[in-house]
Structure 1
């Protein structure tokens, strides 16, 4: 014999109170969403209407039906105006069932009670980030140097505010203030550490990032990848793809100068193989040729034509950083300086490395200033009059640095010559070492007051090839 259950909500409490979190469509726990009523009197009036219907739905019955305790429901009516989203949805369903499907429309003009959604008890309004270029750039920054905690509120971005001071300001004042208006990211810094951490503990921010497809927890363990909505970018200008590439490169990318042949090259390194592969695919989508390493942890751009295209299309902030440009320019000036100056500067670098227990003299703000000081001192000692065709007056100027970088970027364009053959013009590439050899040969013959004959130059070239 089956037990007959009463239909009276006072006797049956089928909805139990739940915690403040709910599961999204993927089954992942996300931040709690609350409803803040525009006016508590609206809710009180509707409760009176429900109670007047057969005197069944008093406060206790309503609270049981929507899954709340009586005192908690009374607090919503008389104290804080806030109710959890799942409880509010059940209350709306009760009103439509008991008072009619069109009751709310007649009362408010819409099929709902006037309210706004907020995230967590702090009361921040839910944030819906637009899926545009600046948002995709922020996604790239988070994939590179960001981190999301599993507590549903912590968001961190670790940046270097000494070596990349301008980029730190760009992220804080341009990106974050544009996307999260009225929300402050605090700055924390450990003593003696270059890195500064931008922190936020607001659930609304955390939830907005989850909705963009970012994953909480360890990025390497999770092998993070670019969210699908960025991969699906099919706009003519590919602005969303462009923004994500920029954010990734500005955080985990690098611009360097090869010491062997003084060539620029760009690299993107990350321990997430999926992310590096996505970076490579996005570059291909932007018609920029790149090379993916066998381990899939590095993507490099080595051809000068592709480097120029990348800098023109992506416009990375890393290349605009004044201290970084100074470092690149100084490296080029050092490599083209006379042998005596190179030897003296190299001796100082070796002593510095030994004193500080370092293996390599890599980029850093203070190391850049040191290199500049050493180069200037050596140039003054050897009475250098001109640098890149510009007069040298005891200091290396901005124009000298700019000229060095511009010349290096255009260098590849003069490495090809049109040589006329019997039927057509043929493009022949001259390796840098071979060109230098020819210059040395000609210089030696000029010192001897005699220009070399064609067969003598050809013999030197053959010796080089062999």
Structure 2
């Protein structure tokens, strides 16, 4: 008998599902959960995921350094935990071959969608400034089409407009090429809505650097969310900027 592990369906579990679907894996033999992260570029996020894993799984992840000196793997060895995650909708083995997607219990709940979107964006998404357009844009890219479809679907559940899915081919990796799928969020108010509702850690860690980039061009991060012919910010851009003012004394 394995020791009992209780996993409650909630927003935090949905987030760790997003993290595993993005940068994690359940081993084919059912023994191990791994999550691959960049310790050089995102050390704070590594600590965040370790703490979240301990909170949810009640286990301390082991840290394995990978050969490229930037990535690490968080590893949790537990057949019972893998079994529970599979029962909740994750799949063992190669995520690309399996063309994984988001479990239904997440997609039918708005709060769970927010948690899962947070995990997905923080692992396989990007938030970046486009100075020439005085804006900030986002994308999500993955080699599993169902997962990108589900990202788009969950955004739409939150009334966030997302582009059509774009397909392409990745650069060669070990003499193999893979098809990728990608969606964009580009409208100023839609980017602000995603950032305000989902609250990805990637935004928490990077908005200050993005603000510096705008300031170097004589702009501010507020300009990134303001429409050219409108004097006032729309609802979600205003809420996002207000949140930064309240929680970040160094914003202005």
Task: Work out whether the TM-score is over 0.5.
Answer: yes
**Structure 1 counterpart SS, 2:132:** coil
Query: What does the per-residue CA deviation read over 1:291-347, in whole Å, with 9 as the maximum and x for residues that have no partner?
Result: 1234381111111111111111111111001xx23432233234x26xxxxxxxxxx
User: Which structure would you say has the larger RCO, counting Cα contacts within 8 Å and 6 or more residues apart?
Assistant: 2
- 1:163 is displaced (CA, Å) by 1.2
Pick the aligned partner of 1:167 from 30, 45, 51.
45
Residues 26 and 92, structure 2, Cα contact 8 Å, conserved in 1: yes
Alignment of 1:244 onto 2:116: yes
**Structure 1 counterpart SS, 2:41:** coil
Alignment of 1:206 onto 2:88: no
**Structure 1 counterpart SS, 2:8:** coil
Q: Which residue of 2 aligns with 1:444?
A: none
Residues 131 and 214, structure 2, Cα contact 8 Å, conserved in 1: no
Q: Which residue of 2 aligns with 1:186?
A: 62
**Which of 1 and 2 has greater Rg?**
1
Residues 277 and 292, structure 1, Cα contact 8 Å, conserved in 2: no
Alignment of 1:408 onto 2:234: no
Q: Which residue of 2 aligns with 1:177?
A: 54
- For residues 416 and 268 of structure 1, the distance between their equivalents in structure 2, rounded to whole angstroms, comes to 29
Pick the aligned partner of 2:108 from 206, 223, 232.
232
Alignment of 1:149 onto 2:27: yes
Q: Which residue of 2 aligns with 1:270?
A: 142
- For residues 153 and 66 of structure 2, the distance between their equivalents in structure 1, rounded to whole angstroms, comes to 37
**Structure 2 counterpart SS, 1:168:** helix
Alignment of 1:134 onto 2:12: yes
**Structure 1 counterpart SS, 2:60:** coil
Pick the aligned partner of 2:193 from 299, 309, 315.
309
Pick the aligned partner of 1:329 from 208, 211, 231.
211
Q: Which residue of 2 aligns with 1:43?
A: none
Aligned-CA RMSD value: 2.0
Gaps in structure 1 of 5+ consecutive residues: 1-33, 35-118, 120-124, 338-387, 389-403, 419-466
TM-score by length of 2: 0.81
- For residues 9 and 57 of structure 2, the distance between their equivalents in structure 1, rounded to whole angstroms, comes to 14
- For residues 191 and 224 of structure 1, the distance between their equivalents in structure 2, rounded to whole angstroms, comes to 27
Q: Which residue of 2 aligns with 1:97?
A: none
TM-score by length of 1: 0.45
- 1:261 is displaced (CA, Å) by 2.0
**Structure 2 counterpart SS, 1:213:** coil
Gaps in structure 2 of 5+ consecutive residues: 168-179, 233-252
